[in-house]
């Protein structure tokens, strides 16, 4: 399963710790 960012669940769990960066990555992936 993939997260809203479109990245593998494994990557999501790792980025979960960095919420601030998560939002930044989310916007970049949206493009």
d(CA 5, CA 22): 9
Confidence class for position 6, pLDDT limits 50, 70, 90: low
Torsion on CA atoms 25, 26, 29, 31, rounded to nearest 10: -120
pLDDT for 31 equals: 53
Residues of the chain above pLDDT 70, percent: 0
| pTM exceeds 0.75 | no
pLDDT for 22 equals: 60
Domain positions in the chain are: 1-31
pLDDT exceeds 60 at position 4: yes
**Helices 9-16 and 19-30: angle between axes, nearest 10 degrees:** 140
d(CA 21, CA 18): 5
């Amino acid at each position: 399963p993939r997260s809203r960012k479109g990245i593998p669940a494994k990557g999501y769990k790792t980025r979960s710790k960095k919420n601030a960066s998560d939002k930044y990555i989310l916007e970049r992936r949206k493009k």
